[in-house]
């Protein structure tokens, strides 16, 4: 197995991030510092990151968390803010799958399976994610809804078509198949209805369900298999 893939399976980081760790000279195989992510390893010689030996667990885990407002979607925060990882006590080293900005609440996944995380976040897979947005100056007129659905020109390029419903005046449910920074907020602002409150209510086949803010649960093997598909 290639070294970068080994680190991803061990839950150290996504494969791309693991390649960065290797390039920085932070990974050793036995006593040797290895800078080639394609180096073959089989676990017979200890692999370490920053002198800490890592291994591939026999079974990896995925948690669903209802992220509260003000919590950041990183493993560590340089400003001392609370992180999603701190809300899921586990013996394993967990990483969030993608990000929600600090003001956005709702469903986020945490896992020690770097390969699965990379699959879920890769743009080519277009994993759908649904957000419920309460917006200003509702109800949103049909013209604005059509613009959201067909795609908008943002400063980082046009958005893909989105599924957009308005279950009640001033509340939108928006399903995206891409994941740009603050995308829902920027889309709504572009049609003249800034977001007042934003929550992610589904990720792929998974729904937030009855999880309360700050609560988490371990996904079943069936749910993880659904995510992989």
pLDDT in tens, the chain (229 residues): 899 988 987 878 888 889 999 999 999 999 999 999 999 998 789 999 999 998 876 678 999 999 999 999 988 888 889 999 999 988 778 989 999 999 999 999 999 888 899 889 888 889 999 999 999 998 999 999 999 999 999 999 999 999 999 999 999 999 999 989 999 999 999 999 999 999 999 999 999 999 999 999 999 989 998 998 8
pLDDT of residue 21: 94
Beta strands across the sheet bearing 52-54: 32-33, 27-29, 47-49, 52-54
Compute the distance between CA of residue 162 and CA of residue 148 in angstroms, rounded to an integer: 7
In degrees, rounded to 5, the angle at the alpha carbon of residue 3 between the alpha carbons of residues 223 and 73 is: 45
Are 112 and 60 contacting, i.e. CB atoms less than 8 angstroms apart? Answer: yes
Query: Which residues fall within 8 angstroms of residue 159, CB to CB, at 6 or more apart?
Result: 151, 152, 176, 178, 180, 183, 187
Q: For position 74, what pLDDT does the model report? A: 87
> Cβ atoms within 10 A of the Cβ of 161, count?
12
Q: Count Cβ atoms below 10 Å from residue 110 Cβ, excluding itself.
A: 24
Structural contact between residues 174 and 126, judged by C-beta atoms closer than 8 angstroms: no
Question: Which 8-state DSSP code applies to residue 188?
Answer: H
Q: What structural domains does the chain harbor?
A: 3-54 (3.10.290.10), 62-123+206-228 (3.30.70.580), 128-203 (3.30.70.1560)
| pLDDT at 109 (0 to 100) | 97
Pairing status of strand 171-176 against strand 129-135 = antiparallel
How far apart are the C-alpha atoms of 116 and 95, rounded to whole Å? 11
pTM of the full structure? 0.76
Out of 40, 101, 103, 156, the active site residue is 101
101 carries an active-site annotation: yes
Contact between 67 and 84 under an 8 Å Cβ cutoff? The reply is: yes
Closest residue by Cα to residue 197 from 123, 127, 138, 114: 138
């Amino acid at each position: 197995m290639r070294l970068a893939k080994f680190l991803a399976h061990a839950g150290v980081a996504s494969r791309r991030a693991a390649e960065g760790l290797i390039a920085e000279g932070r990974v050793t195989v036995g006593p040797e510092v290895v800078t080639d992510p394609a180096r073959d390893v089989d676990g017979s010689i200890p692999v370490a990151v920053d002198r800490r030996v890592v291994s591939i667990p026999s079974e990896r885990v995925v948690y669903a968390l209802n992220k509260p407002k003000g919590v950041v979607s990183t493993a560590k925060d340089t400003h001392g803010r609370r992180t999603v990882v701190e809300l899921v006590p586990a013996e394993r080293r967990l990483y969030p799958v993608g990000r929600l900005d600090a003001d956005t609440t709702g469903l986020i996944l945490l896992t020690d399976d770097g390969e699965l995380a990379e699959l879920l976040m890769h743009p080519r897979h277009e994993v759908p994610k649904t957000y419920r947005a309460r917006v200003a100056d509702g109800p949103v007129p049909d013209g604005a809804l059509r613009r959201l659905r067909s795609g908008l020109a943002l400063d980082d390029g046009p958005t893909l078509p989105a599924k957009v419903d308005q279950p009640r005046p001033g509340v939108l449910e928006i399903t995206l198949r891409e994941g740009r920074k603050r995308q829902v907020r920027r889309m709504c602002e572009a049609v003249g209805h800034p977001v007042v409150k934003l929550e992610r209510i589904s990720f792929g086949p998974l729904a937030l369900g009855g999880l309360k803010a700050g609560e988490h649960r371990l996904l079943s093997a069936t749910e993880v298999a659904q995510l992989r598909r």
